[in-house]
Amino acid sequence: MKFGLIGAALAAACVLAAPQAQAQQFINVLTGGTSGVYYPLGVAISKIYGDKIANVKTQVQATKASVENLVLLQRGGGEIAFSLGDSLKAAWEGDEEAGFKSKLDKLRVIAAIYPNYIQIVATADSGIKTLADLKGKSLSVGAPKSGTELNSRAILKAAGMDYKDIGKVEYLPFAESVDLMKNRQLSATLQSAGLGVASLKDLSNSSEITVVSVPKAVVDKIGPPFVAATIPAGTYKGQDQDVPTAAVVNYLVTSSAVSDELAYQMTKLIFENLPELANAHAAGREIKLENAAAGSPAPLHPGAARYYTEKGVLK
């Protein structure tokens, strides 16, 4: 009887301990629209984490990108997210005009990754060749309050314009913008993304396009985190020359609710698997360890800081 009771107690203890021993962590990767750059990179990151972090279940969530991602992180709706640097700065400061009613104080940075290029593309028959030519024409500026839309506002303001100068403003994701341009229902689209974004490749393969330059003088008026950049010739079919534009650094962001150990693993696995990210999208080739901890608009997560200290990136 005594031994039976002891055996039953041990069995019960094992049953109770089993879920703890096999406790599963969940990583929801917040990305952007499926035709942008965030989504394929997010899918690759999700697979890396699912394969290489023990007892982890991953999921990829398509979103309206930067602003929505940061709000979701603050609310506990994700573990890692993509964001543009200017959106992250606005979120950390609680910039209400940018869509943040209060400071998102739980945000923590995993890494600075690749730059987003401001890519303004018009149909050739629209006659749009310069920023000034956008006046009176139709322009898609990205989903409302998305990082792309905030970029659109900044570029137009620095060029001495606002939405009132545009003939018709459409608030559409990348793929939908391109569909309208193919059907001659839209003159131009501003897309803030890595070079070679799928939506614009699709457009250039089916229609004649003009890639509109953003002069350095306009970029300088905006200032950091915007920097002058170049869209190299041949990035899109029919684009025969380099085109000056602006760029903004993207970040992978997490929250203070994520443990130091998990944040460490998430950071480490990004830089141990860069070839997989490069295979997922060309923008992955621009992710560099030496740049990962530099100039962040919000604090680094302690787990990420630990990895960068180990690698000598942080002293």
Q: What angle do CA 234, 127, 158 make, to 5 degrees?
A: 80
Instruction: With beta carbons less than 8 A apart as the criterion, state whether 76 and 255 touch.
Output: yes
Question: Dihedrals φ, ψ of 20, to 5°?
Answer: -70, -40
Structure tokens at 287: 């992710």
pLDDT digits (tens, 9 = 90+) for 286-309: 999 999 998 889 999 999 999 999
Q: What per-residue confidence (pLDDT) applies to 194?
A: 87
The pLDDT value given to residue 99: 84
Least confident window among 116-120, 137-141, 194-198, 205-209: 194-198
Predicted local distance difference test score (pLDDT) of residue 45: 98
Say whether pLDDT at 167 is over 50: yes
pLDDT tens for 256-273 read 999 999 999 999 999 999
Q: How many beta carbons lie within 10 A of that of residue 80, not counting itself?
A: 29
pLDDT band (50, 70, 90) for residue 144 = confident
Distances (CA, A) of 124 to 38, 136, 238: 28, 16, 10
The candidate with the shortest Cα–Cα distance to 252, out of 53, 46, 100, 26, is 46
Task: Output the pLDDT for position 20.
Answer: 46
Tokens of 288: 């560099």
Taking 80 as the threshold, does the pLDDT of residue 175 lie above it?
yes
- Alpha-carbon distance values, 226 to 42, 54, 116, 231, 245 (Å): 24, 39, 10, 15, 10
Q: How many Cα atoms occupy the beta-carbon half-sphere of 56 within 13 Å?
A: 21
Pair of tokens at residue 151:
């970029």
CA separation (Å) from 56 to 74, 79, 91, 108, 187? 21, 12, 28, 21, 45
pLDDT (0 to 100) of residue 22: 54
pTM, entire model = 0.79
Domains of the chain are 25-114+250-310 (3.40.190.10), 116-248 (3.40.190.10)
Classify residue 275 by burial, with Cβ atoms within 10 Å: 0-12, 13-18, 19+.
exposed
Confidence of residue 69 (pLDDT cuts 50, 70, 90): very high
DSSP state of 79: S
Rounded Cα distance between 225 and 112, Å, is: 12
Mean pLDDT of the chain: 92
Residue with tokens 């930067």: 66
Residue (of 177, 206, 208, 180) closest to 191 by Cα position: 177
Q: Is residue 313 packed enough to be buried (19+ CB in 10 Å), middle (13-18) or exposed (0-12)? A: middle
Distance separating alpha carbons of residues 291 and 287, to the nearest angstrom: 8
